[in-house]
Structures are given as C-alpha cells and as structure tokens.
Amino acid sequence: MLVFRCKILNVNFPSSSSWSLGTFVKHLPLSKPKTSFPPQRLIVKSLTTNTTDVTRSSSYFETLNSCQKDQIHLYVDALLQWNQKMNLTAVKEVNEVMERHIEDSLAIIPPIQNSYISSCYNSFDNIRIVDVGSGAGLPGLILAVACPGWEVTLVESMNKRCLFLEHAVRLMGLSNVQVVRERAENLGQDSNFRERFDVAVARAVAEMKVLAEYCLPLVRVGGLFLAAKGHDPQEEVKSAERAIKLMGASILQLCSVESHSPHGQRTAIICLKNSSTPRKYPRDPGTPTKVPLY
C-alpha cells in the first residue's frame, strides 16, 4: 500500500483555513525565489485519500519578465521551424505550443519548490537539475529560462535532437544549460553524473517503473525526482512502487496541476531519494524498458 508522506517544516501558518502556495512560501524562513509565480491549481493527493484543492489556476508565462518572454518566443519559433524537418512535437501552432508545452513546463516549478523546501530543507534558488529524455527541451529549457539560478542538464540520446537543443541554447542566450548526448543508463553509471543532481525531471518519456531506473540513480541522497504524468496515474504509480524502492527512494506526494491537455490536468509524481542507489542500477542500456522492475 502506497502511503502519502510529506515532511512539513516547523512553520507558523496563518489562522485562516484558506491558504495558498504563495502564503506558504511567504512564511518560510528562506529567501524568496528570483522568479515569482502566481497561484496555480495545485492538488496534493495520495492513492488512498481524497484530493484537496489548494489554489486556483493562473498563467505562469505572464509572470515572466520581458527578457524571459522573448527567450520563450525565440524557442517556440525555432521549435516550429525545426519541426518541419524533424519530429520534435506533434503540435504545429504557436498557441498550442504555448498552452500545451510552455505552460505545462512552467506548471511543475511550484511542486518542485514546495517539495524541495519542505523535504530537502534547502533554498531552491540555486539547484542542479537534470531533464532526462529532454527531447525538444521540455521541460528543461523552459525551467532554465524561468529559474536562471538553476543549473540545468538536458540528457538526450538522439543526435538530431541534441543539435536542436544546442541551437536553442545559443539562440536563447542561456548560460545555465548543458546538453549531454547519452543514454540515461550510461550516465547513471558515470561518476561525473551519478547522484550529482538535486532534482531530476522527466516528461512524456516512459512508464514510471522505467523512469525510476533512468532518473533516480542521477539524484543525490536527499534530492527529488519529479515525473510529469497524465491526469490519472494511480495504477502506473502502484506498479512502480517496488522499482522506486529499489532505487533508494519513496513516493513523497502526487500533485495535480491544471493543464491544457484534453483532461484539463496533469499529475506531478514526486519521489524523495532516501538512500544511495545500489551499484547494479541502472542496468545495461535497453534493459529497463525490455525487462522493467516490478
């Protein structure tokens, strides 16, 4: 049985029963992030309890400064241009890219911030984050724009996609992004990358039990792994419970965020790395997909 666990800092909350993520952050004894985001529809849930509404939705893109917005527009233009000659996204229109990719990518920042503060007891202003199976740079490139203090590593195994990512990084003028062309299984056994990151993220890459073996070996003990999933991932999470435990982690929480997907929401599955991953993981390239851990 998967049990909901969420460590809470010793913070005095307002007496009102209605509080938001912004109020939560305001009362923390930490410095404020460099980028401020409006409230979103953030629902914290477990597999055994009802969901609870915390805040209401709003556009994250509109909170970015003019320079950040320009960087995002440069990215969107490049994405659609390159998409004419290679498969980067099924979305063909600017408005769709903004709604389904940009807003979705920005929407995972508050769950990262909330969980990192309450469970890792560190400031989230300067963290090392790895985007596994980055593809077209989603969400990694967008996180790098919105949070310039974060050091972002984009991991992608396909050379053509890496060429696009490198082009986008130069075009957007990002100095906090590194592109690595390699399989996640190999990086997880490389001492330069193994357990070196504060947070790993993955969006639309693989099943949760496969993602656990891809991503968690890269996360330091005490760090987080966030997988962006669909509106109803409970069965997928249950089937991945053993794989997550084998990697030295546990489910911290599931956060539902509003999305422009057909179902109107996505789920951020957040895992906390409790102990070092055994050296035998990740297994050889291709094995996690062919023979997933159950």
Does residue 1 have a pLDDT over 90? no
Other Cβ atoms within 10 Å of 3 Cβ, number: 10
> Which residue is associated with the tokens 């969400």?
139
Rounded to two decimals, the pTM is: 0.81
Burial-class residue 211 by CB neighbours within 10 Å (0-12, 13-18, 19+). Answer: buried
- The per-residue pLDDT for 146 is 97
Specify whether the CB–CB gap between 112 and 224 falls below 8 A: yes
49 pLDDT band, cuts 50/70/90, is very low
Specify whether the CB–CB gap between 252 and 119 falls below 8 A: yes
Distance CA 116, CA 25 (A): 11
- Per residue in 165-198, pLDDT tens? 999 999 999 999 999 999 999 999 999 999 999 9
- Per residue in 202-219, pLDDT tens? 997 899 999 999 999 999
Distance CA 38, CA 20 (A): 10
> Half-sphere exposure of residue 163, counting CA atoms within 13 Å on the CB side?
8
- The backbone region for 137, taken as left when phi is positive above 0, alpha when psi lies in -120 to 50, beta otherwise, is left
Which of these, 141, 104, 137, 74, lies nearest to 229 by C-alpha position?
A: 104
- The per-residue pLDDT for 187 is 98
Question: What is the dihedral angle through the alpha carbons of 6, 251, 115, 113, rounded to the nearest 10 degrees?
Answer: -160
> Which residue is associated with the tokens 């489910």?
251
Amino acid present at 6:
C
58 pLDDT band, cuts 50/70/90, is low
Burial-class residue 278 by CB neighbours within 10 Å (0-12, 13-18, 19+). Answer: exposed
The least confident of 47-56, 58-67, 114-123, 276-285 is 47-56
Which of these, 188, 133, 177, 182, lies nearest to 153 by C-alpha position?
A: 177
Which of these, 80, 60, 56, lies nearest to 69 by C-alpha position?
A: 60
- Per residue in 221-268, pLDDT tens? 999 999 999 888 999 999 999 999 999 999 999 998 876 656 567 899
| Domain 60-290: top CATH class | alpha beta
Domain segments of the chain: what residues? 60-290
Specify the higher pLDDT residue, 4 or 121.
121
13 pLDDT band, cuts 50/70/90, is very low
- Per residue in 95-154, pLDDT tens? 999 988 999 999 999 999 999 999 987 778 899 999 999 999 999 999 999 999 999 999
* Average pLDDT over all residues of the chain: 83
Specify whether the CB–CB gap between 104 and 266 falls below 8 A: yes
- The per-residue pLDDT for 231 is 81
Specify whether the CB–CB gap between 148 and 82 falls below 8 A: no
Specify the higher pLDDT residue, 215 or 58.
215
Q: Kindly list the distances between the CA atom of residue 283 and the CA atoms of 157, 215, 275, in Å, as whole numbers in the listed order.
A: 16, 12, 18
- The per-residue pLDDT for 266 is 85
- The backbone region for 264, taken as left when phi is positive above 0, alpha when psi lies in -120 to 50, beta otherwise, is left
